[in-house]
């Protein structure tokens, strides 16, 4: 039974490889083979992927410059019962790529949505960064204009979470220099061309990475991961312990939920609360 017979009028949000074509999920291949139509950010790029796997399906372009017109067409096709796969050049639609508005339109019209998860540059880079991953803020692309970019960085200066950005290779140096000036010489990871032949990861302080890059012309997709603020205010350990006991012992919450609640209440990092929770848990066991 085909997808269109089982789920007529369904929009499939399909993740595609960010570089290495072998990274595509088996489920994504099946969906691409069975849908009626594929809406692609760049039909030429997507056709290369489909050809590699011997898939022949009608393609229609859907990108930032034609999305308003295309959304009407695609929603009409979905209302008519056709199944459509939404893909971007690489990664997951809607994550710093076209797709968010079409998904919103489908939700408004109660059209079934099915996510087909897969590769994402931000997750791949985070997994090998060596920086804390329990809590991070992803901001996609920062503004290209220097003044607006600096304003964003100032607003993030005291955030304790690991910060993740995408950036154009030609603006990488200027972003790192702005980060050094505004955020300080904290740890940074610059990952480029993830999963591709020339994959490369730079690690160190901002100044060290800038020195390593030098005047080198960086090419390809770039993901930047910055250490969170080391200056984030810390609550007294005694306050954290008392709050944890209140949630876990007096209110009967699990320690995991207690950690989450206390971190929110006291505006401190979950890591700090988690460390104190180990002491409380040991105390309870004694």
Q: In terms of domains, do 21 and 77 share one? A: yes
Give me the CATH number covering residue 132. 3.30.950.10
Choosing from 184, 203, 226, the residue where a domain stops is: 226
CA dist 85 and 3 (Å) reads 11
Closest to 164 in 3D by CA, of 182, 145, 189: 189
Count the residues in the chain. Answer: 286
Tokens read off for 169: 């290779």
Q: In terms of domains, do 133 and 154 share one? A: yes
> What would the pLDDT profile of 170-184 be if each residue is shown by its tens digit?
999 999 999 999 999
The answer to whether 41 touches 87, Cβ cutoff 8 Å, is yes
In a domain, 242, yes or no: yes
pLDDT (0 to 100) of residue 248: 82
Q: Is the pLDDT confidence value at 91 over 90? A: yes
Q: In terms of domains, do 40 and 94 share one? A: yes
Closest to 115 in 3D by CA, of 129, 99, 137: 99
In a domain, 232, yes or no: no
Give me the CATH number covering residue 65. 3.40.1010.10
> What would the pLDDT profile of 236-250 be if each residue is shown by its tens digit?
667 888 888 888 877
Q: In terms of domains, do 12 and 114 share one? A: yes
Per-residue pLDDT band for 130 (boundaries 50, 70, 90) equals: very high
Q: Is the pLDDT confidence value at 4 over 50? A: no
In a domain, 94, yes or no: yes
Choosing from 97, 119, 141, the residue where a domain stops is: 119
In a domain, 1, yes or no: no
Q: Is the pLDDT confidence value at 278 over 90? A: no
Q: Would strands 187-192 and 113-116 be described as parallel, antiparallel, or unpaired? A: unpaired
pLDDT (0 to 100) of residue 173: 93
In a domain, 84, yes or no: yes
Domain range holding 19?
7-119
Q: In terms of domains, do 268 and 174 share one? A: no
Q: Taking the model in full, what pTM does it have? A: 0.76
In a domain, 231, yes or no: no
Q: In terms of domains, do 17 and 107 share one? A: yes
User: Distance between alpha carbon 265 and the CA centroid of its chain, in Å?
Assistant: 26
In a domain, 105, yes or no: yes
Q: Is the pLDDT confidence value at 280 over 90? A: no
Choosing from 98, 119, 140, the residue where a domain stops is: 119
Q: In terms of domains, do 46 and 92 share one? A: yes
| Residue 175 Cα distances to 146, 171, 206, angstroms | 8, 6, 10
> What would the pLDDT profile of 19-52 be if each residue is shown by its tens digit?
999 999 999 999 999 999 999 999 999 999 999 9
Q: In terms of domains, do 107 and 29 share one? A: yes
Residues 6+ apart with CB under 8 A from 115: 12, 13
Domains of the chain: total: 3
First to last CA, the chain: 59
Residues 6+ apart with CB under 8 A from 117: 15, 25, 92
Q: In terms of domains, do 14 and 101 share one? A: yes
Average pLDDT over residues 181-206: 94
pLDDT (0 to 100) of residue 243: 85
In a domain, 69, yes or no: yes
Q: Would strands 162-167 and 113-116 be described as parallel, antiparallel, or unpaired? A: unpaired
The answer to whether 166 touches 121, Cβ cutoff 8 Å, is yes
């Amino acid at each position: 039974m085909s997808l269109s017979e089982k789920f007529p009028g369904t929009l499939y949000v399909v993740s595609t490889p960010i570089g290495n074509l072998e990274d595509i999920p088996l489920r994504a291949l099946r969906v691409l083979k069975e849908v009626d139509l594929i809406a692609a950010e760049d039909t030429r790029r997507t056709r290369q992927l489909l050809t590699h796997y011997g898939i022949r399906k009608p393609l229609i372009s859907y990108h930032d410059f034609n999305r308003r017109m295309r959304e009407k067409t695609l929603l009409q096709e979905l209302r008519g019962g056709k199944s459509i796969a939404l893909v971007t050049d690489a990664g997951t639609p809607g994550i710093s790529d076209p797709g968010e508005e079409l998904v919103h339109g489908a939700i408004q019209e109660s059209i079934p949505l099915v996510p087909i998860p897969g590769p994402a540059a931000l997750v791949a880079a985070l997994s090998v960064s060596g920086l804390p991953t329990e809590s991070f803020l992803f901001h996609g692309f920062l503004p290209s204009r220097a003044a607006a970019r600096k304003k964003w960085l100032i607003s993030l200066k005291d955030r304790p979470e690991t910060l993740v950005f995408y950036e154009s290779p030609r603006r990488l140096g200027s972003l790192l220099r702005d980060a050094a000036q505004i955020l300080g010489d904290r740890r940074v990871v610059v990952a480029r061309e993830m999963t591709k032949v020339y994959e490369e990861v730079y690690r160190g302080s901002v100044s060290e990475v800038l020195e390593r890059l030098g005047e080198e012309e960086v090419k390809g997709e770039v993901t930047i991961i910055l250490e969170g603020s080391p200056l984030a205010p810390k609550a007294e350990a005694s306050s954290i312990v008392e709050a944890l006991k209140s949630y876990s012992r007096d209110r009967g919450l699990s320690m995991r939920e207690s950690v989450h609640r206390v971190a929110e209440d006291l505006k401190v990092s979950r890591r700090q609360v988690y460390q104190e929770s180990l002491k409380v848990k040991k105390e309870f066991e004694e």
